[in-house]
A and B are shown apart, each in its own frame.
Chain A
């Protein structure tokens, strides 16, 4: 599919298609990076607007899902690196995180499931480990796909996955 020659109406149709097919997945993906519901919703919005604006750059070389995921992942990372995130919303972020954790801990007490503890532990890992775990185990992507998405070679991806699991094990045993 070439999006080059699309008029505005066609571009809108593509946008609608992308949102219907991948909206929920993107929102979850973004949440896995920012760990905050409101921020995940805002960033998801920005990501789709960005896609709409960049549709003409999509040449059909990559799968459209890969293209969308790369935009989303880069956008999340840019946000996490941004001055705004680091210095402006830090306190707010922390408080929402604690809230989420609190809610989750309550749930944990009620349901007494180890799985939930696992999720909390993952959400507290550094980004580079969290993202590989998420993409590999939640999204069931291959090492090769991960390598394309995060722009690191497969060996690096493997190493990160291994290290992520070690860290996770340590933290769950504490």
Chain B
């Protein structure tokens, strides 16, 4: 048994691993995903502010954030509400209950200011600025 196991590398390389290759394409996909991942808290806050250019519910936000690569709220939506609460407390955003008792969040003046500053720093994100200021950015 020992003798056969010592040759395990060769045995596996010739069988199960024979057409298993980590290709250039795999690398490219990984690079793409890694770049699109937003993890850092500031970036998440910024992403929330950008999304709140329109009124949105917490659940909508969670879905949209996930679409942007922020996956940390997927199984932990509660964390998102904590963050929203803090933002509201800091007067960056405001919220309102609509007729069907759904809570909507939207940007407050301070939030708009933060967003505008960040947009100046980061020209890549001009799309949402345009959305916010009717294309005048």
Residues of chain A at the chain B interface (Cβ within 8 Å): 12, 15-16, 19-20, 23-24, 26-28, 31, 37, 40-41, 44-45, 48-49, 52-53, 100, 104, 107, 113-116, 118-119, 122-123, 133-134, 137-138, 140, 165, 168-169
> Cβ of B67 < 8 Å from any Cβ of A?
no
In whole Å, how far is B31's beta carbon from the nearest beta carbon of chain A? 7
B contact residues around A41 at 8 Å (CB): 26
CB contact list, B32-56 vs A, under 8 A: 33-35, 37, 39
A contact residues around B30 at 8 Å (CB): 15, 19, 45, 48-49, 52
- A168 close to B1 (CB less than 8 A): yes
- Complex CA gap A24/B1 in Å reads 27
- B10 close to A115 (CB less than 8 A): yes
A contact patch SS: helix
- A137 close to B17 (CB less than 8 A): no
> Cβ of B16 < 8 Å from any Cβ of A?
yes
B contact residues around A107 at 8 Å (CB): 15
Other than A19-B27, A41-B26, give 18 A-B pairs with Cβ distance below 8 A: A23-B22, A27-B21, A31-B16, A31-B17, A49-B34, A52-B37, A100-B16, A113-B11, A115-B15, A118-B4, A119-B8, A119-B16, A133-B8, A137-B5, A137-B9, A138-B9, A165-B5, A168-B1
